[in-house]
Structure 1
Amino acid sequence: MISKDAIFTYNIDPKYKTAVAYFSMEFAIDQALKIYSGGLGFLAGSHLRSAYELKQNLIGVGILWKYGYYDQERDENALMKPAYVEKEYAFLEDTGIMVTVQVHNAPVHVKAYLLKPDTFGSAPLFLLSTDIPENDYLSRTITQHLYDPHQPTRMAQSMILGIGGAMLLDALGIQPNIYHMNEGHSVPLNFYLYAKYQNLDEIKKRVVFTTHTPEMAGNEEHGFSELSAMSFFYHLQEHEVRSLLGMNDPNFNFTLAALKFAKRANGVSQLHGEVSREMWSSYPGICEIIAITNAQNKKYWKDTLLDDAIKAGNDEAISTRKKELKKQLFKEVANQCGKLFHEDVLTIVWARRFAGYKRADLAMYDWERFLKLINNTETPVQIIWAGKPYPEDHGSIDLFNHIIERAKPIANCAVLVGYELELSALLKRGTDVWLNNPRMYREASGTSGMTAAMNGAINLSLPDGWVPEFAKDKENCFVIEPAPKGSPDADKLENESLMDMLEQGVIPMYYHDQQQWLNIVKKAAADVAPAFEAARMADEYYQKMYDK
């Protein structure tokens, strides 16, 4: 069995001596470790990378997904299809530790693996698996698919992460000062802690919580009776949980419970903090909700040559390297779509987790105006879309495929599949404009624009999530004017604002004022780091959440 002393391969900085266990359902650490779906994982991965660089006393706890989220492939008509391929990770260390979690009153054995810090440059990460010979078939499926669509399996996944993760730490002899729940998936860990301390105040001393969901409907909940039957509440009965937390609704809301267990919680942008406080203000017994804006690890995401050119203010080197990076991206466009893009043409990318509220097709809202834009040969434009819908979200998959069908006959429009860390980096480095147009107040943070700005791409965005903290219109980005709050015509009005900005601002500047374009590129890169670099975020968690 692995020793406690062998977990860290670096000396802890005394500034960060508080011991933290960071629980997350997904971590995007490296392209080779496919245990993530989107922004939550990208955020957690950058957090662990910066914790490593700062030598923080932080350990990640997650799940080893046998089939990952899914592999995004194409069918015979070049439309998207999910595929599930078993993953093997020879670089993980078998810790020799196994714990047992009761799921639906039956024992489920949980094996722990370790991603050592020096493998990919991250804080230590323990990954839990039930897909082992000691379990029956049903138990083995718990850790096979990230965000399994089968609801009892989803409940069990939270139990393995929360209860199994806490048991693992006990087996290792690690007593964290702080248990950090990154989103509400790991909320069962609190019931394990209650069995240990028998006191809600003792839990509150040790637990903090990060919420990422700015709308009530997006916060996971299940019926109390179903969760109780699953042994979700560890040794507590349903009436005891209701009494402990003062929850009287038929459903148990994961976020609300986390807010009642934690000593402090945070939204992931200043705007999201405000939205979260308003969302939960009518519920008694919740903790304080502050804001710690998400950030991304620059060392991982940056292109070194481009970054050096930007730092030096060398416009010729910036332009030269950017064209080289565009060529690299366009090889992938040609490979997937059979289309030849050109490095001298303004290139726009829309790429992120694929969900309806993010409006991947907003630019197409007025189809005739869109066609006029992309068929203009005097000031040509190339557009690329990429993203991963939830594999059971058939509406989003239909939208993804609708965009593929519309883009097929257009030589300067392409849709890429396989949106994971590697493709994400290729897109951010190879685009001129990073487009972000969600429905307002639905984007908690939206960190992809941060890493785009680190790589010489200019954000074209609605002022949601992190953007209001960063944006200076036409100085470090282009801001799309939002529709009046609550407007029933928001899609129409914001499409008009987007197209106006492209036609009157973005495109003319790119082709007729390259000096101003490069000034924005340099200003964006200077403004995005360190303010939105993950070292700031990782330090801020210690100052505002862990040590306070």
Structure 2
Amino acid sequence: MTDTPDGTFQKLRELAQNLWWSWQPDIRAIFREIDPATWSVTYHNPVALLQRVDPEEVARRVQDLEMQTRINQAHRRLQTYTQGGDSWGITHGGPILARPVAYFSAEFGLHQSLPIYSGGLGVLAGDHLKSMSDLGIPVVGVGLLYHQGYVHQLIDENGWQQDLYEPIAAADLPVEPVLAADGGQARFSVELPGRDVFLRLWRVRVGRSDLLLLDARDDANAPEDQELTARLYGGDQETRIQQEILLGVGGHRALGVVGIKPSVLHLNEGHSAFALLERAREIVQRQGFEPAEALREVAAMSVFTTHTPVEAGHDRFRTDLASRHLEPLARGIGLPIEEVLALGSERPEDPNAPFCPTVLALKLSRRANGVAALHGRVSRKMWQHLYPGRTEEEVPIGHITNGVHVRTWLAADMHGLLIQHLGPRWL
């Protein structure tokens, strides 16, 4: 696409590649007006829209002086925002300005055009990244890039529900490859039983925040391993534990690839609990700590948010399955596999008790919280048996009531009304 003298097309691409547009009604309106029909069928995805609409048609739509002015103003606002020296975080961020929070989650609900979420867990994670961006608090999200996303539910001609998974092309998503020193896409490996699985690394820009996504569709992987990042919450127990190892272990290694040394590991539910073991392995290998010291160090920098209020909603893996998959981590930490399994066991005295990542996260985090006052009480009751001698009220699980990123959920008309009467900094 040949650009205009003032770089209008490049500005559109830069606006499309940063999900800041998703909470800016005026920028969404720009993309919608380029081609309303394509905007609708692409699920309001500006990257896909620019891929599909004929360049000459885009040029015709944006040649209007008013439209060019709107694009230029939006682009300047994005630049000012991302460079932002005027934020709460700059004033109050303290040590995390140099070493950000790493926020791990199996799903991130940022916008429907990036379908790597299924519900409230992901929406909370997405709103976290947006809110931290607005506040100027340094945070980097860590997740998986599912190339078939989450299930689409359809009703067939006989009235039966059908599940449909649709392939998602990276070129249609607001993701960009993280580049290695040689100019190729950054990649690294994670050990699974009998082989190494290679992961490619992607970045999503969410205002000032970054989200790192891992993808197993690497040519060096066997076809079945490439499918490990195909679907959110898909597959059997073996697929599930392997996905969680890629998320936790691979996610922590991804931080090292991009040169981030986090001050805090925040786990959004137990799916990413293996990041704690990888962090312990790294401390032992690089800093020479004893295993017990390394585990204490991990706990001191880790916090855990639990969402699930029912026992059945927490993963529990058979001892033999967990043992095979966690042996490399145990070896790297310098602990017998039995001791590592005990960290995730509700009954450490029973060698056959299943391994629960939620239990691992509770034992290796200095703070844990539910997502509402009632949920905090339910969680303390559910996990009281992990803390012998403590009353239910003394169980160290607090609560932080879920909030939302207001600008994401505010109707465009109301957004305009509030700006009109209260000014652009009303929130």
Partner of residue 82 from structure 1, selected from 163, 167, 172? 163
Instruction: Render the CA deviation track for 1:429-449: whole Å, top value 9, x for unaligned.
Output: xxxxxxxxxxxxxxxxxxxxx
Partner of residue 129 from structure 1, selected from 198, 215, 219? 215
Are residues 1:185 and 2:264 paired? no
Distance 1:122 1:62, change over 3 A: farther
Partner of residue 105 from structure 1, selected from 194, 202, 209? 194
Instruction: State, as a whole percentage, how many aligned pairs show the same letter.
Output: 34
Relative to the length of structure 2, the TM-score reads 0.67
Displacement of 1:191? 1.3
Displacement of 1:72? 2.2
Are residues 1:202 and 2:303 paired? no
Distance 1:170 1:309, change over 3 A: closer
Match of 2:177 in 1: 94
Aligned equivalents of 1:278, 1:162: Cα separation in 2? 27
Partner of residue 56 from structure 1, selected from 137, 146, 162? 137
Instruction: Render the CA deviation track for 1:326-359: whole Å, top value 9, x for unaligned.
Output: xxxxxxxxxxxxxxxxxxxxxxxxxxxxxxxxxx
Amino acid at match of 1:150: D
Match of 1:238 in 2: 337
Q: Is the 8 A contact 2:107 2:125 kept in 1?
A: yes
Are residues 1:29 and 2:96 paired? no
Displacement of 1:38? 0.8
Displacement of 1:257? 1.2
Distance 1:62 1:9, change over 3 A: farther
Q: Secondary structure at the match of 1:166?
A: helix
Relative to the length of structure 1, the TM-score reads 0.52
Q: Is the 8 A contact 1:155 1:232 kept in 2?
A: no
Partner of residue 150 from structure 1, selected from 236, 253, 261? 236
Q: Is the 8 A contact 2:323 2:341 kept in 1?
A: no
Distance 1:126 1:9, change over 3 A: farther
Q: Is the 8 A contact 1:188 1:233 kept in 2?
A: no
Aligned equivalents of 1:296, 1:227: Cα separation in 2? 36
Displacement of 1:244? 5.2
Match of 1:543 in 2: none
Match of 1:219 in 2: 314
Aligned equivalents of 1:122, 1:151: Cα separation in 2? 36
Match of 2:286 in 1: none
Equivalences for residues 424-435 of structure 1 within 5 A: none
Instruction: Render the CA deviation track for 1:62-88: whole Å, top value 9, x for unaligned.
Output: 000010012222312343211111102
Aligned equivalents of 1:60, 1:312: Cα separation in 2? 34
Partner of residue 272 from structure 1, selected from 363, 375, 380? 375
Distance 1:42 1:245, change over 3 A: closer
Q: Could you tell me which runs of 5 or more consecutive residues in structure 1 were left unpaired when the two chains were aligned.
A: 1-7, 314-529, 536-548
Amino acid at match of 1:94: P
Distance 1:228 1:243, change over 3 A: closer
Q: Secondary structure at the match of 2:118?
A: coil
Amino acid at match of 1:279: M
Distance 1:122 1:224, change over 3 A: farther
Distance 1:48 1:149, change over 3 A: same
Displacement of 1:312? 10
Amino acid at match of 2:151: Y
Partner of residue 387 from structure 2, selected from 284, 294, 313? 284
Structure with the larger helix share? 2
Instruction: Render the CA deviation track for 1:56-112: whole Å, top value 9, x for unaligned.
Output: 110000000010012222312343211111102333111022111001131000111
Aligned equivalents of 1:291, 1:233: Cα separation in 2? 34
Q: Is the 8 A contact 2:143 2:247 kept in 1?
A: yes
Equivalences for residues 365-444 of structure 1 within 5 A: none
Are residues 1:299 and 2:407 paired? yes
Displacement of 1:10? 4.8
Displacement of 1:238? 2.6
Match of 1:16 in 2: 93
Amino acid at match of 2:176: E
Q: Is the 8 A contact 2:330 2:337 kept in 1?
A: no
Are residues 1:46 and 2:127 paired? yes
Displacement of 1:222? 0.6
Aligned equivalents of 2:197, 2:217: Cα separation in 1? 10
Match of 2:205 in 1: 116
Distance 1:9 1:26, change over 3 A: farther
Q: Secondary structure at the match of 2:317?
A: strand
Aligned equivalents of 1:170, 1:154: Cα separation in 2? 24
Q: Secondary structure at the match of 1:52?
A: helix
Partner of residue 139 from structure 1, selected from 208, 225, 236? 225
Aligned equivalents of 2:258, 2:416: Cα separation in 1? 43
Displacement of 1:311? 10
Displacement of 1:122? 6.3
Displacement of 1:207? 1.0
Aligned equivalents of 1:232, 1:84: Cα separation in 2? 34
Distance 1:209 1:233, change over 3 A: farther
Displacement of 1:230? 2.4
Q: Secondary structure at the match of 1:252?
A: coil
Amino acid at match of 2:317: H
